[in-house]
């Protein structure tokens, strides 16, 4: 015995059936819609949205972050109160200039300027000496620095032996005086760049430079050190040997 099932009729959106409508026209199919979206009619259009480029750029641009200023005016005042870098390093340019002028004028020597010994000026003169020698084709930087060190120790030992080890001349002051008084030899090395080597002119200039340096160094040692007047000749002879050696570097 057959059973009957109640099947509901199929209703299409267009009101027709799969075979065709009442007029035999083609089947009208509905467009699929995205899930969770309300259906829209065929004549619906996308709404127009106004878009302003300037306003969009202003809204999407990143602004520069503003940080609060952490530096107060007291810090600037502190930098102004600090001493210059050269003074912190112990380099007194005014004192170096005055000592240089006193060396260049051998007839008016101010020994009080050399009471405070320093090595800034001698270092500059020795570097200039080495540079002039390098321009003439001689690499003497190590020789110059080594000979100055040995010469200061030699002068220190000689003077203290003459003063029976009771003098007030230390090796630091000896190095400072020898370095400042080598300025005529430095000038000789600069002049030798324009003078033929091994000639009579360079010999005469070397002799004048050695006498110039010896006289200045001897007078400064006699004025600044105790027991100097009693042994002026021996101190002058030691200074003459020192600067004669340096002049040989220029001549040969």
Out of 121-125, 158-162, 205-209, which region has the weakest mean confidence (pLDDT)? 158-162
User: CB 189: neighbour CB atoms within 10 A?
Assistant: 27
| Closest among 94, 242, 83, 91 to 174, alpha carbons compared | 242
- Please indicate whether residue 77 or residue 119 has the higher confidence score (pLDDT): 119
Q: 186 is written with which tokens?
A: 């430095």
Helices (H), 136-231: 141-162, 171-181, 183-191, 200-224
Mind listing the pLDDT tens digit for each residue in 237-248? Answer: 999 999 999 999
Confidence bin at 105 (pLDDT 50/70/90) = confident
Helix axes 141-162, 232-251, angle to 10 degrees: 170
pLDDT at position 1: 54
pLDDT at position 62: 47
Of all residues in the chain, what percent carry a pLDDT higher than 70? 65
pLDDT at position 203: 94
- Please indicate whether residue 29 or residue 125 has the higher confidence score (pLDDT): 125
| Closest among 40, 39, 14 to 29, alpha carbons compared | 14
User: How far apart (Å, rounded) are the C-alpha atoms in residues 178 and 210?
Assistant: 12
For the chain, the domains span 93-251
pLDDT at position 65: 54
Confidence bin at 123 (pLDDT 50/70/90) = very high
pLDDT at position 229: 76
Is pLDDT above 50 for 92?
Answer: yes
pLDDT at position 159: 84
Q: What is the mean pLDDT of the chain?
A: 78
């Amino acid at each position: 015995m057959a059973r009957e099932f109640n099947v509901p009729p199929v209703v299409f959106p267009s009101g027709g059936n799969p075979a065709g409508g009442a007029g035999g026209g083609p089947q009208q199919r509905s467009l699929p819609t995205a899930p969770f979206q309300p259906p829209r009619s065929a004549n619906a259009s996308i709404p127009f949205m106004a878009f302003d480029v300037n306003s969009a750029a202003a809204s999407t641009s990143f602004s520069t972050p503003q940080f609060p200023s952490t530096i107060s005016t007291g810090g600037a005042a502190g930098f102004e109160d600090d001493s210059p870098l050269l003074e912190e390093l112990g380099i007194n340019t005014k004192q170096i200039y005055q000592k240089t002028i006193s060396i260049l004028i051998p007839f008016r020597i101010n020994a009080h300027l050399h009471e405070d010994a320093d090595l800034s000026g001698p270092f500059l003169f020795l570097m200039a000496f080495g540079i002039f020698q390098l321009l003439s084709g001689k690499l003497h930087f190590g020789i110059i620095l080594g000979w100055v060190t040995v010469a200061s120790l030699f002068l220190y030992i000689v003077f203290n032996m003459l003063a029976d080890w009771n003098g007030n001349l230390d090796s630091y002051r000896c190095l400072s005086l020898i370095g400042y008084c080598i300025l005529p030899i430095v000038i000789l090395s600069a002049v030798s760049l324009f003078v033929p080597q091994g000639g009579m002119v360079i010999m005469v200039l070397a002799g004048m430079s050695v006498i110039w340096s010896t006289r200045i160094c001897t007078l400064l040692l006699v004025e600044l050190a105790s027991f100097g007047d009693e042994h002026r000749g021996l101190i002058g002879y030691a200074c003459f040997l020192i600067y004669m050696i340096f002049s040989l570097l220029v001549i040969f």
